[in-house]
Amino acid sequence: MKKFLKKYITAFIMVPIFLLQACDLDETQEVVTKNNLVWADEFDQDGAPNPQNWNFEIGDGTEQGIPGWGNNELQYYTDRPENVKVENGVLVITAREESFQGSNYTSARLVTRGLFEKQYGRFEARIKVPYGKGYWPAFWMLGVPETAEEEWPQIGEIDIMENVGDEPTIAFGSMHGPGYSGGESISKEFELDGDRFDTSFHIFGIEWSPNRINYYIDDKLYQSLTPEDVDEETDGEGVWVFNDRPSYIILNVAVGGNLPGNPNAETIFPQSMVVDYVRVYE
Amino acid sequence: MVHTIKHTQILGLLLLILMTVSCERDISEDAVPATFPTTAEVYTDNPVGLTDEFFISFDPAGGANPEAFGTDDNEAYLGSSSIRIDVPAPNDPNGNFVGGIFKDRGDGRNLTGYDALTFWVKGSLTGSLEAGFGTDFEIDEFPVSAFIDLATDWRKVIIPIPDPSRLVQEKGMFLFAAGSFDVLGDDNPDVATSFDDNVGYTIWIDEIRFEKLGTLGQGQPKIFNGVDETLETFSGSTIQTTGISYTANLPSGMNQSVQLSTNYFTFSSSNPNVATVTDTGEITVLTSGEATITATVGNLSADGSLQITTTGDFENAPDPTLPESDVLSIYSDFYSVIDGLDVGAFNNDGINIEAQTFNGNELIEYQNLGFVGIGWNDTVDVSGFTHIHLDVQRLTSGSNFIVELLDYGPDGIDNGFGDGSAGGFNATSQMIDEEWVGLDIPLNSFTLPTGAGGAGNPNLNNIGNIILVSNSGAFLIDNVYFY
């Protein structure tokens, strides 16, 4: 979800074709196979998020060289309790409409970078998202650069959960790498039957193994991606970069920009993404 | 289209209950409250479980066109048939709008397991339709409706049920109403002829049913339009809760608002000693103090509230003492009210005119008063009287208060100062804030020129209006009469 999403629509037209050709999921395949818990934050201690687990990325992306975080997003990320806190057993990331440091919205973006970085495993979180045009909550991972020169998308991006607030029954999982990034990412939507992502908690996860990433929501496996899929999707141009390095976890709520569109008059602020836990298994 | 209750069915039900109870001395512990059928379908290719004439029109005397309703075997979203509504043009002799209800043929249905009424609809034009449920033309206890914009292809409509637990025995299965299509977008309810250029068109409706979708969320009831309002008032006053609505977010991400009965709401007062509120949202202020009125629908708190500050007992103006035979009364509960009284015959933009009742006595409140004409049928000849009386209470400190008399002249028509005349009297110096002042103005004291151009000293034979003038002040007015 990091950058260059202008061809987003094209990507979504291509995805179903790809799936028909390449993603005949085995009905008997188990949703998860990794059950040995190796890292977790249950968000049981009220206050600021545990600094042993989470760092903050502050600002509007300018400092990182990508103003609007590469997507014309409208929010300024802070580590203030107004935007991020742990209370009543959950992590609450709150997007607010307020004038702050030249932006009209504030929110928060938490990363485990430098604190918890891991290659392979089962990464899952139990999350409830906000609703309304312009909200763009996400639970995702970026690869750790080995040198200062290494940049996205070479480092690889795994989007475990993204949602846009005006599609309350739909979430999507994606991967970005060289030859399939931004609007050309490999992605699939999952639509809930008889439920919504903003009114109840759901579990979003991946199982990441050498040469395979499985995406699941609750007990449903809905996407399984391999190097062969990347080959087919990109006519052999794309490179599977997910055997290369560990990744870190990111939780954030973006507001506006290329993907969700900007908030409208009916969008209610403030609202929060609520995270019950993040767990990592081997 | 008059519906008659099926007495035989009710008798049958009573018999059944009687038999069941008479079998045992005590009610069995297995007994559960009677429940009604949960049938979801209302119309598929045929009406489902509806009365024989399943469409019951609104009253044709009110303009409803009962001929405009039918079914169509050539159009259907699903299956072989749909409901066809030929929305009449404004000049249709059978009535200029179409609407009515579908009613359950039995004793009602238990809809507590559903969260929406859904149907498919399309129009021959992109008009609009009011649709809903809960109206049965008997008790109309839980009506809900929404305005739906039509497309020229089939679209699914979702009407959220605000609190399904209320609908344990609902007979009102469907309601719709539609009027002619405003081609030029120039309809103005205040100008009857603005509807003349509208056209009739056709609406098809299919697959009407109640559903448990599970994909509706963020239900939000509102009272007072979702605003936290404040009101300073006196004990004895009554206020109706207004601005009620309910909005839910649809699976498409769109917000759908509905109109709904106050019966879905549970109202409460933070201090029932100061103000009480009935099941229908009528607030009665009892004594001095503070109370806040809030409401819930099911377990959802409504946005909006009314914080009432009561300053104490309201004192009405003193009753007049003259016998009625000695006065010409314009406005008073003590005397009769003049024929055709209009307390806002003409006025400035932005004025607020309200009749209020305290302890059974009505008075008029003007807020943001620039000017207002009090009028009545024809004109009155007051040349035989010497004074005009008004009881006035100024609510905004220091505001001006001027009384003018407008005489229409011998032609009895308000057509300027050819034969008409007008004059004013400035009573500002007599005003006392928040206290009644009895003004007794000699009729030969209206010497000032008027805002509309009267020269002063009006004739008294054909008085058509009493005009009150201020600089945006607020006033209470009672007991206006000549003597």
Distance, in Å, from the CA atom of B146 to the CA atom of B350, rounded to the nearest integer, reads: 30
Distance, in Å, from the CA atom of A156 to the CA atom of A174, rounded to the nearest integer, reads: 11
The answer to whether B253 contacts A131, with C-beta atoms less than 8 Å apart, is: yes
| Mean pLDDT, chain B, integer | 91
Distance, in Å, from the CA atom of B447 to the CA atom of A179, rounded to the nearest integer, reads: 91
CB A59 within 8 A of CB A77: yes
CB A233 within 8 A of CB A94: no
Whether A57 is a known active-site residue: answer: no
Task: Select from 3.40.640.10, 2.60.120.430, 2.130.10.10, 2.60.120.10 the CATH code of B324-482.
Answer: 2.60.120.430
- Which tokens sit at A175? 């991967």
Q: Does pLDDT of B6 surpass 70?
A: no
For the residues A106-125, what does the mean pLDDT come to? 97
Type of residue numbered A264: N
> What is the structure's pLDDT at B317?
94
pLDDT tens string B325-381 = 999 999 999 998 899 999 999 999 999 998 887 877 899 999 999 999 999 999 999
A266, A267, A269, best to mutate vs chain B, most B CBs in 10 Å: A266
A31 lies in a domain? no
Residue percentage of chain B with pLDDT more than 70: 93
- What are the phi and psi torsion angles at A208 (to 5°)? -115, 115
Residues 6+ apart with CB under 8 A from A219: A31
CB B370 within 8 A of CB B351: yes
Domains B33-211 and B324-482 belong to one CATH topology = yes
Cβ pairs bridging A and B (under 8 Å)? 36
pLDDT band at A116 (very low <50, low <70, confident <90, very high): very high
User: A33-47, A250-264, B304-318, B419-433: which range is least confident on average?
Assistant: B304-318
Name the helix (H) or strand (E) containing B83: strand B82-87
Contacts of A196 in chain B (CB under 8 A): 214-217, 251
> What is the structure's pLDDT at B418?
86
Nearest CA-CA distance, residue B218 and chain A, Å: 7
Pairing of strands B128-133, B238-240: unpaired
The answer to whether A168 contacts B214, with C-beta atoms less than 8 Å apart, is: no
For the residues B304-321, what does the mean pLDDT come to? 90
Residue percentage of chain B with pLDDT more than 90: 80
In chain B, the residue whose alpha carbon lies closest to the alpha carbon of A133 is: B253
Kindly list the distances between the CA atom of residue A63 and the CA atoms of A57, A59, A79, in Å, as whole numbers in the listed order.
10, 7, 16
Name which of A36, A246, A5, A32 is nearest A141 in CA terms: A246
Distance, in Å, from the CA atom of B109 to the CA atom of B169, rounded to the nearest integer, reads: 5
For the residues A207-233, what does the mean pLDDT come to? 96
Type of residue numbered B163: D
> What is the structure's pLDDT at B23?
42
A1 lies in a domain? no
Domain B33-211 has CATH 2.60.120.430: yes
> What is the structure's pLDDT at B294?
98
Name the helix (H) or strand (E) containing A176: strand A170-176
Pairing of strands A90-100, A271-281: antiparallel
For the residues A237-242, what does the mean pLDDT come to? 95
For the residues B278-296, what does the mean pLDDT come to? 94
Distance, in Å, from the CA atom of B312 to the CA atom of B354, rounded to the nearest integer, reads: 20
Between A236 and A32, residue with greater pLDDT: A236
> What is the structure's pLDDT at B191?
82
Q: Does pLDDT of B237 surpass 80?
A: yes
Nearest CA-CA distance, residue B256 and chain A, Å: 11
Q: Which of residues 68-107 of A touch B (CB under 8 A)?
A: none
Distance, in Å, from the CA atom of B128 to the CA atom of B181, rounded to the nearest integer, reads: 8
Q: What angle do CA A130, A141, A172 make, to 5 degrees?
A: 50
User: DSSP class of residue B455?
Assistant: -
pLDDT band at B52 (very low <50, low <70, confident <90, very high): confident
Quote the number of domains for chain A: 1
For the residues B247-260, what does the mean pLDDT come to? 97
The answer to whether A133 contacts B253, with C-beta atoms less than 8 Å apart, is: yes
A3 lies in a domain? no
Flag whether residue A263 sits within 8 Å of chain B, measured between CB atoms.
no
Type of residue numbered A245: R
Closest partner residue to B218 among A131, A167, A195, by Cβ?
Answer: A131
* CATH class entry, domain B217-313: mainly beta
pLDDT tens string A44-64 = 999 999 999 999 999 999 998
Residue at token pair 């305290």: B358
Kindly list the distances between the CA atom of residue A175 and the CA atoms of A58, A241, B480, in Å, as whole numbers in the listed order.
24, 10, 80
For the residues B61-78, what does the mean pLDDT come to? 94
A170 lies in a domain? yes
Q: What is the CATH number of the domain that holds A82?
A: 2.60.120.200
pLDDT band at B312 (very low <50, low <70, confident <90, very high): confident
Residue percentage of chain A with pLDDT more than 90: 84
Provide the domain limits for residue A176.
8-23+36-281
Q: Does pLDDT of B31 surpass 80?
A: no
Phi-psi region of B279 (alpha: psi -120 to 50; beta: other; left: phi over 0): alpha
Closest partner residue to A169 among B215, B218, B255, by Cβ?
Answer: B215
User: A78-92, B27-41, B160-174: which range is least confident on average?
Assistant: B27-41
> What is the structure's pLDDT at B315?
86
The answer to whether A131 contacts B217, with C-beta atoms less than 8 Å apart, is: yes
Nearest CA-CA distance, residue A166 and chain B, Å: 4
Q: Does pLDDT of A29 surpass 80?
A: no
Distance, in Å, from the CA atom of B265 to the CA atom of B308, rounded to the nearest integer, reads: 19
Burial (CB < 10 A; 0-12, 13-18, 19+), residue B168, is: middle
Return the bridge partners of B85, or none: B69, B203
| Mean pLDDT, chain A, integer | 90
> What is the structure's pLDDT at B439?
96
Distance, in Å, from the CA atom of A123 to the CA atom of A205, rounded to the nearest integer, reads: 5
> What is the structure's pLDDT at A183?
87
CB B105 within 8 A of CB B49: yes
What is the separation of C-alpha B202 from the centre of its chain, rounded to a whole number of angstroms? 29
pLDDT band at A15 (very low <50, low <70, confident <90, very high): very low
Whether A157 is a known active-site residue: answer: yes
Residues 6+ apart with CB under 8 A from B32: none
**Which residue ranges make up each domain of chain B?**
33-211, 217-313, 324-482
For the residues B295-319, what does the mean pLDDT come to? 92
Q: Does pLDDT of B279 surpass 70?
A: yes
- Which tokens sit at A225? 């991606």
Name which of A205, A251, A280, A206 is nearest A55 in CA terms: A251
What is the separation of C-alpha B275 from the centre of its chain, rounded to a whole number of angstroms? 23
Contacts of B214 in chain A (CB under 8 A): 193-196
Distance, in Å, from the CA atom of B406 to the CA atom of B412, rounded to the nearest integer, reads: 11
**How long is chain A?**
282
Which one is catalytic: A27, A73, A87, A162?
A: A162
CB B168 within 8 A of CB B211: no
Q: Does pLDDT of B17 surpass 50?
A: no
A47 lies in a domain? yes
